Structure 1
Amino acid sequence: MLFEVLLHKSKLERNIMKILVTDTSKSKYCEKGCHYLHVLDELHKTLQYSKLKKEALMFCLQKLEAQSDVIRTTHAHYLPCGD
């Protein structure tokens, strides 16, 4: 079992932000943002996060939202703040 400490800026946070920045530049996601399940699917494509649980992703997204790194546009969609 692999654990990653999420108290400070983590690799998971950086990867989530990278996905959000990249995918929200596409017309499909630019207005509403990315659904968290889309972000989870993208993370599952990587070896490091292939078994990441939804709860861990949601914890990290909530942390990013509290830090004003992302904005939640609906109950399930997220946009990165700024560039």
Structure 2
Amino acid sequence: MATATLTSKGQMTLPKSVRDELKIGPGDKIDFVKKDGEYVLKPRTARIADLVRVLGIPPVARALTVEEMDKAIEDELAEDDERIRAGR
């Protein structure tokens, strides 16, 4: 069993064995989830919204329809085909 000590500032250092098992490091977020009267530590995984923000992709006002997705794929394939035929 791993043990951590709480400081006067309410901070603790997670033991290396726990950090290694959770695959977490400096700057990673950890959620404390209450379950059956106990807390479980869960590393926070990146959400799609976080990745979109980091990549600088502007938010979409609405979801695309299947037809719009099909058209976008068709357009990309046509561009690829044109590029390949032109030898680029």
Q: TM-score range by the shorter chain?
A: under 0.3
Q: TM-score, normalization: structure 1? A: 0.22
Q: TM-score, normalization: structure 2? A: 0.21
Determine which structure has more spread, i.e. the larger CA radius of gyration.
2
